[in-house]
Copies of this chain bind each other. A is one copy, B any other.
Amino acid sequence: MLRMSTLFVRTLRDDPADAELPSHRLLVRAGYVRRAAPGIYSWLPLGHRVLRNVERVVREEMDAIGAQEVHFPALLPREPYEASNRWTEYGDNIFRLKDRKGADYLLGPTHEEMFTLLVKDLCSSYKDLPLFLYQIQTKYRDEPRPRAGILRGREFVMKDSYSFDISDEAFAVSYAAHRDAYVRIFERLGLRYVVVKAMSGAMGGSASEEFLAVAPNGEDTYARSLGGYAANVEAVRVVAPEPLPYDDAPAAHVEETPDTPTIETLVAVANAKLPRDDRRWTAADTLKNVLVVLRHPGGQRETVAIGLPGDREVDLKRLQAQVEPAEVEPFTEDDFAVHPGLVKGYLGPQALGTESATGVRYLVDPRVVAGTRWVTGANEHGRHVFDLVAGRDFTPDGVIEAAEVRAGDPAPDGSGPLQLARGTEMGHIFQLGRRFADALGLQVLDQNGRLVTVTMGSYGVGVSRAVAAIIETSHDERGIVWPREVAPADVHLVATGKDPAVLAAAERIAAGLADAGVEVLFDDRPKVSPGVKFTDAELIGVPTIVVIGRNLAEGVVEVRDRASGDRQDVPVDDAVVRVAAVVRG
C-alpha cells in the first residue's frame, strides 16, 4: 500500500514552463518524473511503478513467443560497431567516450552487433535456431533536439529483441511471431496504433514496419488509404507515370520573365505574357530546383539539386530518410558565392548534373519522367525556359523521393487516395537480412553440413516512451487516465474530513483491499482538504477512486470511475468485495 502522507510525490498546480505536450505536462505535474538534464529524466515512485508495469507487459509477451531475456552492457567497445560501419554512420547521434587508457567506447543506441557476436560465440548449428533473444535496457541517443519530456529522451528504456534463423522462410515465421506479439503488447497498453511501412535508416536491412501510436502532435506523419495501404510518409513511394511521347513537342525557348524568383510570380508572369491556349499555367507546370548540402559521415559536404513539380515542397524528413547516413544542411549564401554558375531563383536543369559545368548532382522527383514538359529556370537572372522536355533537353543523375506527400495523392499500390495523420513511433521491426551476420561472420552449419550465414531480425519497443504515449492517448483536462494494466495502483482511496470514524473505516477498507491483493494508493493525509485530494486523485489518474467521507453516516462509500466519471454508492460493508471485483473487471 502507498500512503500519500509518506509517498515521495509533490503535485504541481501549474504546468512546467518547458512542456508542450499533455504527457510531459501531466507527468511532471502529477509527480511521475523530474528533468535531470536536457532529454534526461528521473523517475519518481509513481512513475517508476508505471514504467515497471509497461516492462512487465512487454516481458510477458516476449516470453510468450519463446524469447529469452538477457542483459547486455550499455557501455560498448568501438570495434564491433566499426565492423558494421555504424560507428561512422551514426554520426553525432551517439554518445562516444574514451576510457582511462584511451580506448573508444559508445553508449549503445541498439545492440545488433553485440547480439550477433554473442550468438556467434554460442551457436554453431541449425539446431540452435530459431533463436529469439531480448533485453529491457537503458539506451542512449544524442538527439539533436530532445523534446517532449520522456517521449523523445536521450536516455530511455527500450526493449530490443533479435531473431536468428537459418533461412528467409524460417525468418518469415519469426518476424510474424514478433509482429503478433507487438500487436498484443500495444493492445494491452491501451494504445491506439497503426502499423505502417517504414524506412530502416541506420539499421539497414531490406524492409521494416513501424507501430505508430496515433497522436495529433506526433513527430511522424503517416499515409494510409481506405484500401489498406499504410506507410510512414518517409517510406511512401511515388508511382512514376509512363514516359510521354515528345516527338511533336516544340523546341525549348527561353523567355524574359523579369522579377520571377518564386513559383508564384513565375506563374503570374507566364499567364500574363505567354498565355496557353488550352488552360492557364499552374505551379504544376513548373520544375522547381532546390539546392541542399549533404554532409556525409566523415565530414565532406556535397551540393545536390532536387528537381520537383513547382506545386510541391521538399519534405526535409523524406529527403533526410533517403540520404542517411548523410545529413541535410541548407545551401547558404556562402555556398552560392562559391558556385557562380548557380543563379539564385532562376536555376534550371541545363546547368545541373554531374556532367554539367557546375558538376552539381541533380536528382528529380519520380514524376519527372521522359517526355514531361516544364517551365523552369534558364540559369540567367530574369529568364525562364519553356517547353523544356525531360529526356530530350536534360537527363537527371537520378530520382529521389523528397517531395511532400499530400492528402489525396494516390496510394502507390492503387488502393485509393491517401489520407495523412500523425503518430509517435512506439515499435519498429526490421528485416535485417544478413547485413550484421555478414559483417561479423555469424555462420552456422545447415542440415547438409554447409556453413550458411544467419538471417536476422531486430525488434524494438520504446518502453519509457510508452508511458508518455499512453497518456497522449488517455488523459482529460483534469489529469491522466491510466489503463488498468499500467496504472501505478488499482485503487486511489480518498478519506475526507476529520471524523475519526471515517479515517478508521478508510484504514479498514485499505487493509482489506491490500489483503485481497489490490494495490491501493491511500490518501491518508490528515490536514488536506477534500478538494485538494480529489484534484490530486484525478491528476494522478488511478482508474478507480474510492471516496470515504460524509456518506459513511449513511453506510455507503462512493466508487468513481476515473475514465467515465461514473459514480456509484456501495455499502461500506461490501466495499472491499465490490471494489476488488471492479479492479478485476
Query: Which of A75, A100, A142 has the most chain B CB atoms inside 10 A of its CB?
Result: A75
Asked if A75 and B6 sit within 8 Å, CB to CB, the answer is: no
Chain B residues near A105 (CB, 8 Å)?
37, 95
Is the CB of A97 closer than 8 A to any CB of chain B? yes
Chain B residues near A8 (CB, 8 Å)?
68, 70, 122, 131, 133
Task: Name the residue on B nearest A106 (C-beta).
Answer: B97
Candidates B47, B74, B122, B144; contact of A10 at CB < 8 Å? B122
Chain B residues near A99 (CB, 8 Å)?
95, 142, 154
Chain B residues near A154 (CB, 8 Å)?
75, 99
Chain B residues near A74 (CB, 8 Å)?
74, 138, 155
Is the CB of A514 closer than 8 A to any CB of chain B? no
In chain A, positions 133-148 with a C-beta closer than 8 Å to chain B are: 133, 138, 140, 142, 144
Chain B residues near A76 (CB, 8 Å)?
36-37, 40
Task: Name the residue on B nearest A107 (C-beta).
Answer: B75
Candidates B6, B97, B131, B140; contact of A96 at CB < 8 Å? B97
Q: Closest Cβ of chain B: how far from A527's Cβ, in Å?
A: 9
Candidates B34, B97, B114, B118; contact of A95 at CB < 8 Å? B97
Task: Name the residue on B nearest A144 (C-beta).
Answer: B100
Is the CB of A41 closer than 8 A to any CB of chain B? yes
Task: Name the residue on B nearest A78 (C-beta).
Answer: B37
Candidates B9, B68, B69, B77; contact of A122 at CB < 8 Å? B9
In chain A, positions 82-141 with a C-beta closer than 8 Å to chain B are: 92, 95-97, 99-100, 105, 107, 114, 118, 121-123, 131, 133, 138, 140
Asked if B73 and A37 sit within 8 Å, CB to CB, the answer is: yes
Q: Secondary structure at chain A's binding surface: helix, strand, loop or mixed?
A: mixed
Chain B residues near A40 (CB, 8 Å)?
73, 75-77
Chain B residues near A73 (CB, 8 Å)?
36-37, 40-42, 155
A131-B6 Cα distance, complex, nearest whole Å: 8
Candidates B37, B66, B70, B131; contact of A77 at CB < 8 Å? B37
Is the CB of A71 closer than 8 A to any CB of chain B? yes
Asked if A44 and B72 sit within 8 Å, CB to CB, the answer is: no
A31-B131 Cα distance, complex, nearest whole Å: 16
A74-B100 Cα distance, complex, nearest whole Å: 19
Asked if B36 and A77 sit within 8 Å, CB to CB, the answer is: yes
Asked if B68 and A42 sit within 8 Å, CB to CB, the answer is: no
Asked if A71 and B100 sit within 8 Å, CB to CB, the answer is: no
Q: Closest Cβ of chain B: how far from A454's Cβ, in Å?
A: 14
Residue interface mask A1-27, B partner, CB < 8 A = 1: 000001111100000000000000000
Chain B residues near A144 (CB, 8 Å)?
100
Asked if A36 and B70 sit within 8 Å, CB to CB, the answer is: no
A47-B122 Cα distance, complex, nearest whole Å: 15
Candidates B31, B48, B71, B100; contact of A43 at CB < 8 Å? B71
A181-B115 Cα distance, complex, nearest whole Å: 37
A48-B105 Cα distance, complex, nearest whole Å: 23
Candidates B45, B48, B70, B155; contact of A42 at CB < 8 Å? B70
Chain B residues near A131 (CB, 8 Å)?
8
Residue interface mask A532-553, B partner, CB < 8 A = 1: 0000000000000000000000
Q: Closest Cβ of chain B: how far from A488's Cβ, in Å?
A: 12
Is the CB of A51 closer than 8 A to any CB of chain B? yes
A131-B68 Cα distance, complex, nearest whole Å: 37
Q: Closest Cβ of chain B: how far from A305's Cβ, in Å?
A: 28
Query: Which of A105, A123, A133 has the most chain B CB atoms inside 10 A of its CB?
Result: A105
Candidates B31, B36, B70, B72; contact of A72 at CB < 8 Å? B36
A60-B140 Cα distance, complex, nearest whole Å: 29
Residue interface mask A163-199, B partner, CB < 8 A = 1: 0000000000000000000000000000000000000
Q: Closest Cβ of chain B: how far from A413's Cβ, in Å?
A: 39
Chain B residues near A75 (CB, 8 Å)?
37, 40, 95, 107, 140, 154-155
Q: Closest Cβ of chain B: how far from A440's Cβ, in Å?
A: 13
A114-B92 Cα distance, complex, nearest whole Å: 27
Asked if B95 and A70 sit within 8 Å, CB to CB, the answer is: no
A77-B35 Cα distance, complex, nearest whole Å: 11
Asked if A36 and B114 sit within 8 Å, CB to CB, the answer is: yes
Asked if B95 and A71 sit within 8 Å, CB to CB, the answer is: no
Query: Which of A10, A48, A99, A121 has the most chain B CB atoms inside 10 A of its CB?
Result: A99
Asked if A118 and B45 sit within 8 Å, CB to CB, the answer is: no
Asked if A6 and B155 sit within 8 Å, CB to CB, the answer is: no
Asked if B155 and A118 sit within 8 Å, CB to CB, the answer is: no
Chain B residues near A95 (CB, 8 Å)?
75, 97, 99, 105
In chain A, positions 305-347 with a C-beta closer than 8 Å to chain B are: none
Chain B residues near A6 (CB, 8 Å)?
66
What are 21 A-to-B residue pairs whose CB atoms are below 8 Å? Answer: A6-B66, A7-B68, A8-B70, A8-B122, A31-B122, A37-B73, A37-B105, A40-B76, A42-B70, A42-B114, A44-B118, A45-B69, A47-B71, A48-B71, A51-B71, A73-B155, A74-B138, A75-B95, A75-B107, A99-B142, A100-B142
Given A6-B66, A10-B121, A75-B140, 10 more A-B residue pairs with CB atoms under 8 Å apart are A7-B68, A40-B75, A43-B71, A45-B69, A45-B70, A48-B71, A51-B71, A92-B100, A97-B107, A138-B138
